[in-house]
Amino acid sequence: MNALTLEKANQIIHVALTNARQLNLEPLTVVVLDEAGHLKAMQREDGATMIREQVAIAKAWGAVNMGMSSRNLAAVAEQRPDFMNALIGLADGKVMPVPGGVLIRNADHKILGAVGISGDVSDQDERCAIAGIHAAGLFC
């Protein structure tokens, strides 16, 4: 697979949300962006606050545009805060350096896009993103 299809994006979202309900997490918003950072699919669960969409997009957008998960971006932010502040400014605030933004890769390790999730604690958001990616037969 060389491009992220809408079918795969929707499958990622469905599994991520199913996983969240099984874990009894807070209401989530899940976005899937393509390799250029454009919105492919999004769902906001009932009860998820409106700002969760922007947070989820920022997690995914930073990941896909920097080529690393938002968890790794958090590590960069700790090591090089001036760089991260400049990056967030250059990106007009579309980077969120906390877990929950996960790259989507094919079997050849090519980046196809990213998932961003917001709504619960960041580690749980990331856990659901990874579950969705793997269920779709793709890789992180």
Instruction: Identify whether 76 is part of a domain.
Output: yes
Residue 87, classed as helix, strand or coil, is helix
Instruction: Identify whether 140 is part of a domain.
Output: no
pLDDT in tens, 56-69: 999 999 999 999 99
Using CA of residue 76, residue 35, residue 17, residue 88, what is the dihedral sign? positive
Instruction: Identify whether 44 is part of a domain.
Output: yes
CA distance 15 to 45: 13
Q: What is the DSSP letter of 107?
A: T
Residue 17, classed as helix, strand or coil, is helix
CA distance 26 to 69: 22
Q: Please list the pLDDT of the chain residue by residue as tens digits (140 residues).
A: 789 999 999 999 999 999 999 999 999 999 999 999 999 999 999 999 999 999 999 999 999 999 999 999 999 999 999 999 999 999 999 999 999 999 999 999 999 999 999 999 999 999 999 999 999 999 99
**pLDDT at residue number 2:** 86
* CATH number (domain holding residue 69): 3.30.450.150
What range defines the domain where residue 11 resides?
6-135
pLDDT in tens, 30-62: 999 999 999 999 999 999 999 999 999 999 999
**Structural domains of the chain, count:** 1
